[in-house]
Amino acid sequence: MARRGRARRRSRLRRRGPALVTAVLSGLGVALPPSTTQDEIWAGYFSGHYTGARKALAQRIFANSGVRTRQAAVSPLLEDVSGWSTERRMRRYQVEAIPLGKAAVSRALEDAGLAAGDLGLFAVCSCTGYATPGLDILLARDLGMSPSVQRLFVGHMGCYAALPGLGTASDFVVARGRPALLLCTELTSLHLQPPGTRTDIQQIVSHALFSDAAAAAVLTPQDQNHPGYAVREVAAITDTTTADHMTWEVTDLGFRMGLSPQVPSVLSTHVRTLVDDVLARHGRTIADVDGWAIHPGGPKILDVVQERLGLDDAAMSASRGVLSAYGNCSSPTVLLVLDALRRRDRPPDRIVMLAFGPGLTLYVTLLEGSTLGT
């Protein structure tokens, strides 16, 4: 009888399957290099590299970028790297990125109430610097992560990398039931291009927008005693017919950005369908979303997304505020917007994160307060 009873219990467990684990974003940490104003950078450095009509155009681009202050690990006001070789820039990347990443990771762990040794996965996204041993190895060592921690480095995905990074980290949490941490660190200031390329309009736009930052996110199995945002879905669409619209080329003098003015038009074509489809799979519509973390690639991109999604100015305020205060920091930027939403007096319950980059690729992530839904 006892054996038959145990067999029946095992059968019931097999039918039910394992308990479903939900990955929750339970901690965020941000670290920023020294800041300066857009006007200071223009007057103190870039204004001297243009003349005549081109100078007037460049000044308008800087003034209309939506950026008021920005950060640089290597400021052109103090140190001109435009003539440096890529090798020299990569060596400097390691020097500057390690303390910045360490600060962001430490703050995220503290926010989540975890120690570095608790992590099962440590993922790093960066498209502005490469070395081996890299940030994943050196920070795991310096912060005291377990020798058995799994590591992942994601490179050259660009501005949208945080969202596939979140997807991978959340999948790990669901599959293994252990915490994961994602770090996005970018030092775009190391890729200042030499004077010969600065007259190119795409380079002017790039120099007017991009900035440096690090942001880290901790994902843990759902625990009602430590609430956060449950990761409900991560989805993407890539329009490969427009692959040449956004590029990040490795040259002998750093990495050079290519930005087509057609990028906002491509986003306009795809963003509404992508967002609607994700929300519909969860029985939601745009009206059910009270928090929008949209990657501020530039003012025109935000304008297009706002128009296509039918959002009011309040819904866009966090993204526009981050663009103004920090610039476009590539992969960490959407996490900076999420952090701004979390710090509000009344944080939103349901958040859609959107980010865009080479491909052209659009990524969307749906987050819900972990006490919502099932």
Cβ-count burial 291-328 (b if 16+ within 10 Å, e if not): bbbbbbbbbbbbebbbebbebeeebbebbbebbbbbbb
Distance of CA 285 to the CA centre of its chain: 24
Q: Coil, helix or strand for 272?
A: helix
Residue 159 annotated in active site: yes
Which of 125, 127, 159, 184 is the catalytic position? 159
- Nearest in space to 355 (alpha carbons), one of 153, 126, 161, 155: 161
Angle among Cα 117, 120, 122 to the nearest 5 degrees reads 90
Query: How many residues are recorded in the chain?
Result: 374
Enter the tokens of residue 128: 């502005």
Peptide bond preceding 99: is omega within 30 degrees of 0, i.e. cis? Answer: no
Nearest to 363 by CA among 274, 281, 292, 293: 274
How far apart (Å, rounded) are the C-alpha atoms in residues 165 and 331? 10
Give the rounded distance of the alpha carbon of 158 from its chain centre: 9
Question: Which are the catalytic amino acids?
Answer: 159
